[in-house]
Amino acid sequence: MAESILHRIARGDKTAVQECLNKYGGLVWSLARRMSANTDDAEDAVQEIFIDVWKNAERFDEAQASETTFIAMIARRRLIDRLRYAKRRIAADSLEELVSEPQNRADEELQTSIEAKDAARALRQLRPEQRQVLQLSIVRGLSHQEISEATGIPLGTVKTHARRGLLQIRDLLGMSSINEAKGGTA
C-alpha cells in the first residue's frame, strides 16, 4: 500500500505538499469560499488551512479518519476560528454605532425575532427526518457525512432530506417569490 500524502508531508517530502495542494485544493477552496465573506478572505483562509495541514500532518492516523476527513476537519476548525475572530472584531468596531442608534437596533432585534419564529414554525412543519437533518446541520454545525455517521442514515439520503427540507422551508417562508421579485433565482 502506498504511503499517504500526509505521512509523506510529515517526513518532509516536498513533492507531497504539492500533491496535497493538487488533490485537496478544490475541497478546501469550496469550504473556504462557502464560509468566507469574500474571495480575498477565502484565499487567505486556504493559505492558513494548508499551513495547518502541513504543521499537523504528523497527527494523521488513517485508523481514525481518511485524509479527506482529516483535511476537512482542519479546514472546518480554521474557518470557524476565522468566523469567531471576525465576529469579535465586528463587535468591537460597531460598539459606537450601537450606542448612537438604539432605536434601529431594537427594530432589527424585533425583525430578527419575528424571522426566527417564522423559521421555527416552518421547521416544525417538515417531515421528522428532514427536521432532524436540518437541525443537526444548522444548529449543531454537523456536515452531511457527520450526520450520516451519527444517525445511521445513508449519506445520499441525508443530502436529499437536507435539500428537500430547505426547499420546503423556502416555500413556507415565501422566499422564492421574494427572490423572483428581486430578479434573482429561486
pLDDT tens sequence across 18-54: 999 999 999 999 999 998 889 999 999 999 999 999 9
- pLDDT the model gives residue 179: 44
CA distances, 175 to each of 16, 161, 171 (Å): 46, 19, 6
For residue 178, pLDDT over 60 is answered with: no
Q: What is the rounded distance in angstroms from the CA atom of residue 69 to the CA atom of residue 49? A: 14
C-alpha span between 47 and 17 (Å, rounded): 13
Answer whether residue 147 shows pLDDT above 60: yes
pLDDT 10s digits, 82-117: 888 887 776 666 665 655 555 666 667 777 778 778
Task: Tell whether the model's pLDDT for residue 58 goes beyond 90.
Answer: yes
Q: pTM score, two decimals?
A: 0.49
Rg (CA), the chain: 21
Residue where the block lists cell 427572490? 179
| Four-residue CA torsion sign, 89, 71, 18, 54 | positive
For the chain, domains (ranges, CATH) are 1-93 (1.10.1740.10), 101-181 (1.10.10.10)
Return the DSSP state at 137: I
Backbone φ and ψ of 98, nearest 5°: -65, -40
